[in-house]
Amino acid sequence: MNKFTIGVIIAIVAVFGGLVIYNTVQNNNNAIDYSKYDASKIITDTSDTGGIAEHVRGNSESKVVVVEYADFQCPGCASMMPKIDAVYEEYKDDVAFVFRNYPISYHQNARAASAAGEAAALQGYFWEMADALYNNRTDWMNETGQTRTDRFVELFKSVAPDGDADKFKDEMEHNENFEKKINFDIGIGRNRSGVEATPSFYVNGSHIEIGENDSLDDFAKNIKNKIDEELKK
């Protein structure tokens, strides 16, 4: 990495306040043959994913698929989520929006938060829990042990008044398939999409670039422009 590249990275991080975070991630699923998967498409539940399907909102039958790789502890991901929610509201009848876990290894609670999201998903509250994790990240990001678990349970109760909090807690702590799903998301992102940062967005497999001087609104506009382009094809 030359001095110019380092300077560009520093400038981008300064502009976005952490939107782009270059990272190393832990992934123990090296035996998976990722070449048989198309990262630009919705991936169904398989043994590789722990039997857990993609988290999809919008039109799952659409020819346009927006994929986000994100870390719930990442400040940039949290900042970008409201913008993506707005894009989703505009295109939800025409586009499929997919979330994939990409917890960064040096974010101490990112993987635990991903497990919380997966546990909420089993009861149909993934997207609500995702918003709650982002909106309240400062409440759980530095906690450990039982206190961290309690924070996640409280968040689940706040978004799932009809949910089973005891089941949520048990699944979050003991469901081994979550580890498979999280590792698969990381693996498909790294091996097939070429993810180097969070959040990373792809529209039909095309990476949406972040300009050095782009604002969050500019970035969202770049995503919308690519969606419009793909819808016209």
**Which architecture characterizes domain 3-232 according to CATH?**
3-Layer(aba) Sandwich (3.40)
In sign, the C-alpha dihedral spanning 2, 3, 6, 7 is: negative
Query: From its phi and psi, is residue 207 left (phi > 0), alpha (psi between -120 and 50) or beta?
Result: beta
In angstroms, the CA 219 to CA 140 distance is 28
The whole-number pLDDT of residue 30 equals 59
Instruction: Specify the DSSP element, H or E, that contains 90.
Output: helix 75-91
The whole-number pLDDT of residue 15 equals 41
The whole-number pLDDT of residue 20 equals 43
The whole-number pLDDT of residue 16 equals 46
Contact between residue 100 and residue 25 where contact means Cβ atoms under 8 Å apart: no
Output the pTM of the full model. 0.87
The whole-number pLDDT of residue 14 equals 40
The whole-number pLDDT of residue 4 equals 38
CA distances from 173 to 64, 114, 117, 129, 144 (A): 35, 12, 12, 16, 13
Q: Which residues of the chain have pLDDT under 70?
A: 1-30
